[in-house]
Structure 1
Amino acid sequence: MTPALGIIEGFFGRPWSWAERADAVRFLRPHGYSFYLYAPKADPWLRRRWQEPHPPAEMDKLAEFRDICRSQNVRFGIGLTPFELHLHGGRGWQEALAAKLAQLASLKLDDLAILFDDMRGDVPELAERQAAIVHYAAERGVAGRILSCPSYYSDDPILDVAFGQRPAFYLEQLGRLLDPAVQLFWTGPEVGSREYSPGHLARVAGQMGRRPMLWDNYPVNDGARMSQHLHLRGVTGRPAAIGPHIAGHGVNPASQPLLSRIPLLTLAESYRTGESYDYLAAFGRAAREILGEELALRLTKDILTLQDRGLDRLGGRKAALQARYAAFDHPAAREICLWLEGYWTVGEDLVLTQ
């Protein structure tokens, strides 16, 4: 069973351009990717400055991209983060949220996600407050499907370190309070999970009261640590057997739109081929499709350096790699050169302000 596959543009740092988004939709749709959630952390009107209306020029771009998605039979959605709204109990928040939702309603969205990720969560009645916000958004009729990301979207204890200790039975309470039609994102055992198992997902579904919608943080490479690496290898730990246990599989891609396509194609192949999936062979096929024979061969030889060593540990190899990939007249090779120049490096200060 292949679940609905999609892109969740939800990373920190430099977002993709509108042309890159459009190209990704057109390329990935034939490979089974049928939804796109626009939620870059760098869009201030969806996160830090969510109470301000999107400027008209930005709304025009969103509408144009929506039309491109529709032309490809791809669901178009927006992820809104009403930043820290859940920290304030009582009333008084509805007016600002209603104004924002009214503007987004003009886009005639297929999907609206209300996101509570990557901000403080150790407050009283967290599940109750968040359920009220999600239901308020759902009642406005902005989109045909409503999704939400919990504050604690993984079992990973790093979330408790970064955003405060999660309330006891938070996931169970949120699942009980939310309308069953609302889908809930989940990144797995870890923020960047190495694998998903049917047993893990069945347990989470029991806590949520619904099958989780995966927010898969591979091949994303944002943040101070991950932006030092290119995530290129074929996916592992995502067996086709998890399909019946999830509502869909959304992928948070890397900052590099073309290079992201290599692991994205292997995920589709993993579901399609099931137990016969061979991640090394899948990587080779995907790399050749995206890069062509010569560049794919070169990348295969350098993958240990590009994915594992890290930009900050290349030393004298950096200049040699830059010269090597500058010799290729290919946009993916230019992505590697830009990465080597630090174009996509994300510092902790940026994560704290986006």
Structure 2
Amino acid sequence: MRKELLLLGAFGMLTTATLCAQEFHLQPTPQEYITQKDSVDIPRQYQILSGNSVQDGPALPLLCSLMPEEVLGASFRVYIGVKGDKIIKKYQHRIPRKSEGYFLKIEKDCIVIAGADERGAYYGVQTLAQLLALDKLPLAEVTDYPDVPYRGVVEGFYGAPWSQEARIRQLDFYGRNKMNVYIYGPKDDPYHRTPNWRKPYPAREGEELKVLVNRAKENNVIFYWAIHPGQDIRWNEEDRSLLLQKFESMYQLGVRGFAVFFDDISGEGTKADKQAELLNYIDDHFVKVKRDVAPLILCPTEYNKSWTDVEGGYLTTLGDKLNEGIKVMWTGDMVVATIDKSTLDFVNPLLKRKAYIWWNFPVSDYVQDHLLLGPVYGNGLDIKDDMSAFVSNPMEHAEASKISLYSVADYTWNMENYDSETSWKHAVRDLMPLHAEYLEIFAAHNSDPGQNGHRFRREESVAIQPALSALLKAYQEKNEIDEDAYRQVAEECRKIIVAADGLLASGNENRPLITEIRPWLIQFKQVGEYGAEVLNMIRLRQQKDAFIGSYEHARALLVLMGETDAQYKAGIKSGSLHLMPTFNALFEAATTGYNAAFHAGLDTKAVYSPYTLKSDVNQLASLPIQQKGKVNTIIPSNEVINWQAGGVLTISMDYARQLSSVLIDLGDAEVADSKFKLEVTSDGTNWQAVDLKPGYRTQVKASLKDLSVAKMRLVNVSDTEQKVYFKMFRFTEN
């Protein structure tokens, strides 16, 4: 056994701004934090005495980075070690008997960091780092450990993957917030999935991944690399060997965690017995042979309750046949859903193991025009013993996702004491401490995903919503202004405008975040200006000329918001749940009243939607239609659509319109042409079939020139359910 290591040094400068005790909190919330009234000045000189067990991990380097300068003869001592190390033998009985737990004690002449394991010691140092941000060190004891064994993030969204720089910042964030898992699985990485999963990464991409792996190790994060082979896998020796070769190439880059994803696929790759056979082979011939690899993870094809065919036996086959140590992912009752005890009581017996939760929040790949910046709430607080892991699927906006990820770290560490609102406010302050008030206002009004195919909604504009409702009700029902509500809403509009400008002009504080959210900030300011002008309209409703000025300005702001939205492919929406609907309703009510009072003919419509979608295909029924000039697109779905025989998707027009073309992508042009029929009607009764012709790759297209269209429908005319994608449905007006 090596000798216990003695280091000498002095506390150096801290990068974190000092905090007063009144606003201080530890993140994530510790299991037990006991402080005395007394505190001690942060010592200028110290000695570090470290145990053998922390010599090779990141705990000791992190501690030394907090105390970078050496000074001989210091009397203040810092002890760090892991259970079994002699240096902390005196404190062995205080260490939690939990994986990744630690005991931290601050006395007048020493600091003790005693971990249940190396990662526990590392987390003890992270807690000390937070305490060192105070003006003085409190005399305190922290006894701490995580509720959930594996906590972190799966980069598993559709759309633009994160940049290298964003991933590096993420990994540092995970370390600070005691998250221990990062799963690399971006859907748009061609070497992660079809067609190139069999091929090694090119040298440049491989080196970038190696940098990330090393950064993960520095932050005590397990870097998982996931492969997504299911869409074209062949269940033979050749593909099995190619998969292991790919894993070996990743192992050589330093990866020590592996996952296999079979989500969002159809066809041969969905067979449970074949998936189990492959995963067991990987587990037996790779994971167990290497001996330094984390547990293997499977993302199944039936990964949520709404898709589960219990009688079909998919999940029970996995439960029966998979090796015991293999983890199986689960998203809950739906693709996008909060996690509660009932969903775990349903799936755990089928899998014969605790589910590995893949939580689809704050991911926004199904609502790319929205930001999801609100509190993390709705998950059970009594399920810590019912899951093996909890990882969050974030937005493509890496920095903005940290508001939610901060709270996910807090929730998975200490469920019983988790408070969603408090954690959210702390997250906002952590992200932009100098402009936290502005960011909180922005986040409070940008949290609901809007109408979407998953029917998943979130609270938004919570504090001002009662005033919005009261103002609108009084004006619509009594033609009166609720003065108290008016004052509150006017003040909120002022705050919105100031917050948007303040964040846009915030300088270098978290520049990556401002770059990500800039389009929404511009729209957000316009929402505030529009709301303020609408308030002027209802105040000036009896003043003929003054009203016109406010009316024209409000209309101009609607045009500007439309232009901001149109500049971006996915669009930009802000304040869409309560702010904009209320302002639009007030605009229409005020204009209608003005027209009646002065016999005018002003356009009363603030928002006009000429198209309505209906479908008896459950996964399509709630998809919104996006308008961009003359081009109209049904927001695509990222999952496999189970389109029943005879199932219909219908789009109704406000009146018969002249359309030029339709573009459809169901993932397979032959299936779209042979199993589906596109029909149009000009009168709602007599339907006419339209020829579908091959387009680009998997697309089909139809020309509608010279046709007047009141309704259009796509029908599964086969006698069987079709498993298809819904990548595109776009129609263009003349």
Q: Is the 8 A contact 2:147 2:414 kept in 1?
A: no
Alpha-carbon distance between aligned partners in 1 of 2:271 and 2:189, rounded to the nearest angstrom: 25
Alpha-carbon distance between aligned partners in 2 of 1:108 and 1:302, rounded to the nearest angstrom: 40
Identity of aligned residues (%): 25
Consecutive unaligned residues in structure 2, runs of 5 or more: 1-145, 288-292, 453-492, 524-566, 573-634, 640-666, 668-697, 699-726, 728-734
The aligned residue for residue 180 of structure 1 is 324
- Secondary structure of 2:439 counterpart: helix
Q: Is the 8 A contact 2:157 2:186 kept in 1?
A: yes
Q: 1:180-329 alignment to 2 at 5 Å?
A: 180-193=324-337, 195-223=338-366, 226-294=367-435, 296-303=436-443, 305-308=445-448, 325-329=503-507
Alpha-carbon distance between aligned partners in 2 of 1:337 and 1:237, rounded to the nearest angstrom: 29
**C-alpha displacement at 1:30, in angstroms?**
2.3
Residues 272 and 93 of structure 1, relative CA distance in 2, 3 Å threshold: closer
Residues 277 and 94 of structure 1, relative CA distance in 2, 3 Å threshold: closer
**C-alpha displacement at 1:245, in angstroms?**
0.6
Q: Which is further off, 335-344 or 7-16?
A: 335-344
Q: 1:95-114 alignment to 2 at 5 Å?
A: 95-114=241-260
The aligned residue for residue 134 of structure 1 is 279
Residues 183 and 345 of structure 1, relative CA distance in 2, 3 Å threshold: farther
* TM-score, normalising length: structure 1: 0.84
Q: 1:56-95 alignment to 2 at 5 Å?
A: 56-85=203-232, 88=234, 92-95=238-241
Aligned with 2:516 (options 323, 335, 342): 335
Residues 349 and 156 of structure 1, relative CA distance in 2, 3 Å threshold: closer
Alpha-carbon distance between aligned partners in 2 of 1:228 and 1:89, rounded to the nearest angstrom: 40
The aligned residue for residue 54 of structure 1 is 201
**C-alpha displacement at 1:144, in angstroms?**
3.6
Q: Is the 8 A contact 1:255 1:344 kept in 2?
A: no
The one-letter amino acid paired with 1:290 is L
The aligned residue for residue 180 of structure 2 is 34
Larger radius of gyration between Structure 1 and Structure 2: 2
Q: 1:215-237: CA deviations, max 9, x gaps? A: 111111113xx212111112112
The one-letter amino acid paired with 1:306 is N
Instruction: Please tell me the root mean square deviation across aligned C-alpha atoms, in Å.
Output: 3.1
- Secondary structure of 1:247 counterpart: strand
Q: Is the 8 A contact 1:85 1:93 kept in 2?
A: no
Q: Which is further off, 33-42 or 198-207?
A: 198-207
- Secondary structure of 1:6 counterpart: strand
Q: Is the 8 A contact 1:325 1:334 kept in 2?
A: no
Matched, 1:119 2:226: no
Residues 350 and 114 of structure 1, relative CA distance in 2, 3 Å threshold: closer
Alpha-carbon distance between aligned partners in 1 of 2:340 and 2:450, rounded to the nearest angstrom: 29
Alpha-carbon distance between aligned partners in 1 of 2:169 and 2:320, rounded to the nearest angstrom: 40
Consecutive unaligned residues in structure 1, runs of 5 or more: none
Instruction: Determine which structure has greater relative contact order: mean sequence separation of CA pairs < 8 Å that are 6+ residues apart, divided by chain length.
Output: 1
Q: Give the number of the structure whose residues are more often strand, by fraction.
A: 2
